[in-house]
Amino acid sequence: MASEWLTRARPDTICLFDVDGTLSLARQSATPAMLDQLKRLKQECVIGFVGGSDLAKQVEQIGPDALSLFDFCFSENGLTAFRLGTPLPSQSFIAWLGEDKYKRLVRWVLRYVSELDLPKMRGTFVEFRNGMINVSPIGRNASIAERIEFEAYDKEHRIRETMVAKLKEEFAEYGLTYSIGGQISFDVFPAGWDKTYCLRHLSGEGFKTIHFFGDKTFKGGNDYEIYTHPSVTGHAVRSPDDTMAELTTLFGV
Ligand code: M1P
């Protein structure tokens, strides 16, 4: 058991949280009530978040104290990771895939997106991150209202699902996973670099119970793998309010 956790009432327990839809509404800020509850929870056990987004977006949502509030911060599924504010070793998507294969992939994506006829298109169709790329048919510059519109349009016209199916066919030999975790995009990363990736950073910490809370726990959702992992006690939530209610039930905080 790492000595840093001995001040917690349950030092062998960690609670991990997805961000969008679990700690906050999609791409919005966590409420003061949620942050207060997390502070109370931190007296009970160790806490961490694990999201698909990059750290900058998570800090925008959780607030400037994100790195000190959470004992573990896992961005891009844990490909970028911090323990008590200190960076942990990471791996990179581009080093894993190689420039040539990456170029073929990104050129295909941009060509495919250029031929879509969507009601609205904005900018940044591919976001290059450390551990993955994020592909958005409408573009990452969409406003909150445009996100909501696209999500509804996508539900009806299955734009992302169709694109992912075609990518799987076209790049079958690449060994990639495609994960639709948010409203306007999907993440692309090496098979196995899903949210379970973060668990390797916890080995040696002495945790007997690893709770995970997420809203996309269904098969195909980006919380599914960690939610169903044999070492994890998974909790499916419907919203940040639901997460808060579950924490009150489980920990009395
Ligand atoms: O955390 C879930 C997802 O959040 C964002 O998705 P979107 O912009 O589509 O709502 C992205 O940061 C994505 O990478 C992430 O998985």
pTM of the model: 0.86
Count the alpha carbons within 13 Å of 109 in the hemisphere toward its beta carbon: 27
- Regarding whether 142 and 75 lie in a shared domain, the answer is no
With respect to residue 1, please indicate whether it lies within any of the assigned structural domains: no
**Which residues are catalytically annotated?**
18, 20
Give the percent of the chain with pLDDT over 70. 100
Same domain, 75 and 140: no
Say whether 104 counts as a known binding-site residue: no
Say what the pLDDT of residue 145 is.
Answer: 96
The answer to whether position 7 is within a domain reads no
* Rounded Cα gap, residues 118 and 198, in angstroms: 35
CA of 5 to the centre of ligand 1 (A): 31
**CATH (domain of 119):** 3.30.1240.20
Is 129 annotated as ligand-binding? yes
Residue 70 has pLDDT above 80, yes or no: yes
- Greater confidence, 49 or 27? 49
Number of domains in the chain: 2
For tokens 């056990």, what's the residue?
45
On whether both 202 and 177 belong to a single domain, the answer is no
Tell me the mean pLDDT in the region 81-95.
94
- Determine whether the shortest distance from the Cβ of 19 to ligand 1 is under 6 A: yes
Measured at the alpha carbon of residue 196, what is the angle toward residues 228 and 239, in degrees to the nearest 5?
65
What's the domain range around 160?
93-190
Residue of higher predicted confidence among 198 and 131: 198
Mean pLDDT throughout 115-144? 96
Check whether 227 is labelled as a binding-site residue. Answer: yes
| One domain for residues 136 and 158 | yes
Pick from 162, 190, 218: which residue ends a domain? 190
Q: What CATH number does residue 204 fall under?
A: 3.40.50.1000
Question: Is beta strand 209-214 parallel, antiparallel or unpaired with respect to 13-17?
Answer: parallel
| 74 and 198 co-located in one domain | yes
Q: How far apart are the first and last CA of the chain?
A: 24
Helix ranges (DSSP H) in the chain: 32-44, 55-62, 66-69, 93-97, 99-114, 144-157, 159-170, 224-227, 240-251
Quick one: average pLDDT of 61-70? 95
Nearest to 243 by CA among 208, 211, 204, 214: 214
Are 61 and 142 part of one and the same domain?
Answer: no
Q: What is the pLDDT of residue 26?
A: 81
Instruction: Please indicate, yes or no, whether residues 185 and 197 belong to a single structural domain of this protein.
Output: no
Query: Does residue 184 share a domain with residue 103?
Result: yes
Per DSSP, what are the bridge partners of residue 24?
20
Q: Which of 17, 18, 53, 193 to mutate to test the pocket of ligand 1 (most atoms within 8 A of CB)?
A: 53
